[in-house]
Structure 1
């Protein structure tokens, strides 16, 4: 098998993370016979863990590029400027040798575009969404992820925005518990204004500067507010998709930080109660 320069291989990051139908520039090799992808990391259902997957055999326009020397020395081998067509990359798990991952890639004009993959891009719910125990939110999240996986930025942003609209009041109410007693009254006043307001951006604007990093570390609300305030229809497709991804990540981060803070507070209270019991017991002995 002919050795291909590392810089000419299709990158693992593209194969592992790129959404469908997004075109990316690629430093293609000189000849179609040298088309190859880097080894990737993927979840193996058989091993039940993330494993290295090794390229089994690439097919370009239906021809096995590793079938023999003839595939590299045909009567006409196009220069890289003329490489265009469909590349199939099949991988197998390096550990069990059974689990398979496959990609279908369109190549044209020095660009690569992932147009198919199996297993499909993961749209499973993260823990932070599951703990909300809200079927409407779960369905919105999955629809958003499906749109995102197929590079529909406006669609995915709309679904994630709807989640924020539906849950923002509940999340802000939870944050109230983290304020010290002397500052809760001021936050209560803000929340009264929040409950009257219908627009999600304005709701966040009311409280975003009141909720300091001491209350919620690296407060994601400010960035969520910025994203929601952007006129999404004025953005390019790539900018729109990037905004949707950021909104999803910030939304999940906010829920995670609230739950973590809540758990930490509960552990602290529990520890204090245990210490008080021990002190009381020792005092009783005296």
Structure 2
């Protein structure tokens, strides 16, 4: 793939009403196979006897697998420039984690230059794949067979296939609602939560669908399981209740991402509460043994 694309500029496949985004947002949050209008994407590079265009790569925030968290990534390879007459080019920036200096992220982009620093950018792809890896705790919760389905959903989400991603995630959540309720019951029993909630969760396990299960749960969850003050089960229920074919692919993609994020955060909080209680119990026993 050459750096200069000689294909004549075609009509942009962008909604004229679509709001432009920053180059940082495009790199961090835009799925592969998506085209977006980008503000401030390039600047003029003055050279002897000519003017050239250079992309203005910012620092970006991405998940680092080595650091196991979000970190600042900076451009690691040479920032190329293009002759002023060039209308379309292919760019291959490589970013590297500023903390460990080990993890890198490589992009393949198609750039159509516009006026005053603006551009139309298309993301061919990126490596490692777009998005944060699925936590191992989530995969363990759903078991081997459905873990493969969940990862297929993640792959569809990475590619921007909203309806497919949502269908995979919904199937996995419906298949494993009882395992999720069981983990919450264990937390409730460990924390000494109201017996009424445990009774409701056990009743919910007997229902066939997630929607019917939620009708059984009236008591609030332990505070440590709330996300931004809200019940994550209600959030999942709201997303999963949406008719698959009544929504656009774009809306399904947003819903799929929300389901994955809420489920992952809930599973992480369950594990954290169990671990914190285990440590607290060990500390109490240690202090009592000193008496």
Query: Normalization by structure 1: what TM-score?
Result: 0.71
Give the structure with the larger helix fraction.
Answer: 1
Which residue among 234, 258, 265 is the counterpart of 2:270? Answer: 258
Is 1:34 matched with 2:53? yes
1:150 aligns with 2:159: yes
More strand by share: 2
CA distance in 1, matches of 2:56, 2:144: 39
Moved more, 150-159 or 209-218: 209-218
1:101 is aligned to 106
Aligned-pair Cα RMSD in Å: 3.7
- Measured against aligned partners, the alpha-carbon deviations of 1:53-77 in whole angstroms (never above 9, x if no partner) come to 245244xxxxx61xxxxx23xxxx3
Corresponding position of 1:164: 173
Q: 1:269 to 1:145 in 2, by over 3 A?
A: same
Q: Is the 8 A contact 2:75 2:94 kept in 1?
A: yes
- Equivalent residue, structure 2, for 1:116: 125
Query: Aligned to 1:89, which of 92, 101, 107?
Result: 92
Aligned partner of residue 56 in structure 1, secondary structure: coil
Residue 205 of structure 1 is matched in structure 2 by 215
TM-score (norm 2): 0.70
CA distance in 1, matches of 2:76, 2:255: 33
- Kindly state the Cα deviation for residue 152 of structure 1 after the two structures are TM-superposed: 0.3
* Structure-1 separation of matches of 2:57 and 2:201: 52
For residues 123-177 of structure 1, the C-alpha deviation after alignment (integer angstroms, 9 at most, x for no partner) is 7432432553822232122211110111001111111112211222112122223
2:78 paired residue number: 56
Q: How does 1:214-253 map to 2 (within 5 A)?
A: 214=223, 216-218=225-227, 219-253=231-265
* CA positional deviation for 1:116: 2.4
**2:5 paired residue number:** none
Deviations 1:173-193 (A, max 9, x none): 222231565732x23442343
Q: Deviations over 1:65-122 (max 9, x none)?
A: 1xxxxx23xxxx38xxxx5x44223336598799672322254896322122344436
Residue of structure 2 in register with 1:283 after alignment: none
Q: Which has the larger radius of gyration?
A: 1
Length, aligned pairs only: 251
Q: 1:128 aligns with which of 131, 134, 137?
A: 137
Tell me, what secondary structure is at the counterpart of 1:134? Answer: helix
Task: Classify 1:173/1:94 alpha carbon distance in 2 versus 1 (closer, same or farther; 3 Å).
Answer: closer
| Counterpart-to-counterpart distance in 2, 1:20 and 1:153 | 13
> Taking structure 1 as reference, are residues 239 and 34 closer, same or farther at Cα in structure 2, changes over 3 Å only?
same
Q: Is the 8 A contact 2:43 2:56 kept in 1?
A: no
8 A Cα contact 2:141 2:179, kept in partner: no
Q: 1:261 to 1:196 in 2, by over 3 A?
A: same
Which consecutive unaligned segments of at least 5 residues does structure 1 have?
1-7, 59-63, 66-70, 280-286
Q: 170-179 or 88-97, which moves further after superposition? A: 88-97
CA positional deviation for 1:277:
1.6
Offset of residue 9 of structure 1: 10
Deviates more, 1:215-224 or 1:257-266: 215-224
Do the aligned residues in 2 keep the contact of 1:37 with 1:89 (CA within 8 Å)?
no
